[in-house]
Amino acid sequence: TVEQVAGAWTITKVALVMEAVVPGITAEKFDEIVKNAEAQCPVSRVLKAEISLDAKLVG
């Protein structure tokens, strides 16, 4: 989402949607990896934006 903040156009939200096929991984391990990636995401720190992630293990 791009909004005007203090008179400047700013990216305020990023929504990521991901589907992954990962042979041999459990749903629990996948969720753990996703949560860690979301918490450690350098892009979110650079942009200082709210970031949500919708990840689904498929296959």
Mean pLDDT is lowest, of 1-15, 18-32, 35-49, for: 35-49
pLDDT band for position 7 (50/70/90)? very high
pLDDT at 58: 94
- Within the chain, strands assigned E span 2-5, 8-11, 13-20, 50-57
Q: Which residues have a Cβ under 8 Å from the Cβ of 44 and sit 6 or more positions away?
A: 14, 38, 51
Please give the tally of structural domains in the chain.
Answer: 1
Q: Which residues of 4-19 are buried (b: 16+ CB within 10 A; e: fewer)?
A: eeeeeeeeeeeeeeee
Put simply, whether the predicted model's pTM sits higher than 0.85 gets the answer no
| 16 has pLDDT over 90 | no
**DSSP letter, residue 5:** E
pLDDT at 28: 96
